[in-house]
Structure 1
Amino acid sequence: MTTTQQDVAISCPDNISISGTIYHSSLPLKGAVMIAPATGIKQVFYAKFAMFLAQQGFGVITYDNRGIGKSLTGNIKKSSASLQCWGQQDQTAVLDRLMSEFPSTSYHLVGHSAGGQLVGLMPNSHNLTSIFNFACSSGCLKNMHFPYAFKAQFFMNLFIPASNLIFGHAKSQWVGMGEPLPKQVAKQWQHWCNGQGYVKTAFGKTIFEHHYDELDVPSLWLNAEDDDIANNTNVADMISVFTKAKHRAQTQVLSPESYNVEDIGHMKFFSSQRKQLWPIAINWLAKHS
């Protein structure tokens, strides 16, 4: 069995090009998976997990959202990227590319945080066979617990506005929150986390068409006991936005002790040091392929 990976340029509906990587396996194809990243997280973070999926016989695509990593062109201050266009444009294009690369199979979204939040903005989301989300929640600030709630309020409502004002973008890397963020990404992130239902706060304001009420596929929502952001209340808040799919949504809370690891948190499911968690994804994908 061999696996290969290929860097590709993915053309979005608005003619913006973003960077992606496609993983092929020599095994018979079981299905195809797009790994949708968390806010400000580069695709390289998911590379070992993507390779693991390919080694199990799945075709896989990873990508950098516009304004992030290899998809950042020019000065970040001039980037017009937003969370909204990440869902409407970038994720839509990635699924189209996955389907053209791996025709006539089942298609799955593995969403990490924002990657799962934004799926209802994709006009082609009806082509998905299943959704597997980790640490995907509304991120509602008022549902977070102290002392983390204090840090979250500081980051969202003080650091982001000040950084946008001073630098023309959010220097999230200064506080360990991923890559530098384009101004509109950070601004929407702040606004959406200050309301209920995350993206729902923009319905009828900046978002006039969406598919959260139409999407009807099985989904598994994993979160970790030690995740201060995607706590159980915020996961339930995000699931409630999917008015049809919520009836088919399954949830699972991961305990670090159950897997003999020190922590899982918001990020570490995809770490190669937490490989013992990865069969959860394989079992889900195999069941729905």
Structure 2
Amino acid sequence: MPYLKLRDGAELFYKDWGNANGATVTFSHGWPLSSDNWETQMMFLAEQGYRVIAHDRRGHGRSTQTWDGNNMDTFVDDLEELFAHLKVSDAVMVGHSHGGGEVTRYLGKHGTRRFRKAVLVGAVPPLMVKTGDNPEGTDKAVFDSFRDAMRKDRAQFFLDVPSGPFFGFNRSGAPKSEGQIRSWWAQGMRTSIKSAYDSIKDFSETDFTGDLKRIDIPVLVLHGDDDQVVPIQAAGLKSVKILPQGKLKTYKGGSHAIHNINADEVNKDLLDFIKS
């Protein structure tokens, strides 16, 4: 399996699939998952002739479980090392949820020289937590309850999240996939508890407003209007107004995991945007 040894000795697991000479699309996964959560999109685009790259964020999946460095600036510096190693250029960057924050901070901090477009899927920017300046956000008490649940019984909490709000399986009449729940649980339990715990603060309290303003390439924002994890009113609707070249597509009735539940539609939207 391919790994990149980073500046601090940590090893980052990554996938580099498809046509090595094709146009490149990179993927950043959500919390507390791994690159496996993008497998449907990666396989689809690889079969269309693209080169697709995804990594397991440090502390997640098959990457090194570091004690420190579980924060956005470290995560995007890791990405810059990976992209330099893989000679990524003229690419499209895609991120879901926490990974959408990673895409936003990467482009805000390291610039857009490697990328020509980006896609944010159910992404956390501009800011998740409720503040005086962000009244649409979620109360900090909710994120505190996540941390408490992880300390009490992480394994059960990591069943409760995908069984309910993540995929929208708690909605009346929603078809439930036991496979999706088990896959989410398996990916989450492979992530270190320290990284998963620290990342709650990272995805909820990081303010990406300045990063959004600096992104000078076209950005497609895909968001479900029934996203119970990252509500569209506090995220997608606000981000698209801040982005200099943002475009929003709303998925009617869509959950937080539209790339899993509405995979065919998301795949088409990605392909159309990449080719346009």
TM-score (norm 1): 0.69
Q: How does 1:1-289 map to 2 (within 5 A)?
A: 7-25=1-19, 29=22, 31-73=23-65, 79-85=67-73, 87-98=75-86, 100=87, 106-122=90-106, 123-126=109-112, 127-137=114-124, 138-140=127-129, 143=136, 153-154=141-142, 156-161=143-148, 163-164=150-151, 172-176=157-161, 178=184, 179-180=188-189, 181-183=192-194, 185-190=196-201, 193=204, 198-200=205-207, 213-236=213-236, 239=239, 246-256=243-253, 264-270=254-260, 274-287=263-276
Amino acid in structure 1 at the alignment position of 2:32? G
1:88-140 deviations in Å (ceiling 9; x for gaps): 33322333244x2x6xx521111111112123433434221111111013333
Aligned equivalents of 1:191 and 1:93: distance in 2? 21
**CA pair 172-80 structure 1, distance change in 2 beyond 3 A:** farther
Q: Secondary structure at the match of 2:27?
A: strand
Is the contact made by 2:119 and 2:220 (CA closer than 8 Å) also made in structure 1?
yes
Shift of 1:66: 1.1
- Indicate how the Cα distance of structure 1 residues 53 and 125 shifts in structure 2: closer, same or farther if over 3 A, else same: farther
SS in 1 for 2:92: strand
**Partners in 2 of 1:132 and 1:14 — Cα distance?**
29
The alpha carbon displacement at 1:227 in A equals: 1.0
TM (norm. structure 2) is 0.72
Identity %: 15
User: Which ranges in structure 1 are unaligned for 5 or more consecutive residues?
Assistant: 1-6, 204-209, 257-263
Aligned AA (2:19): S
**2: distance between equivalents of 1:85 and 1:250?**
26
Q: How many residue pairs end up in the alignment?
A: 241
Question: Could you say if the C-alpha distance between residues 276 and 120 of structure 1 is closer, same or farther in structure 2, counting changes exceeding 3 Å?
Answer: closer
The one-letter amino acid paired with 2:235 is: V
Cα distance, 1:216–1:171 mapped onto 2, change above 3 Å: farther
Distance 1:97 1:34, change over 3 A: farther
Displacement after TM superposition at 1:213 (Å): 4.9
The residue type equivalent to 1:110 in the other structure is: V
Task: List runs of 5+ in structure 2 lacking aligned partners.
Answer: 163-183
Task: State how far apart, in whole Å, the 2-side matches of 1:251 and 1:276 are.
Answer: 15
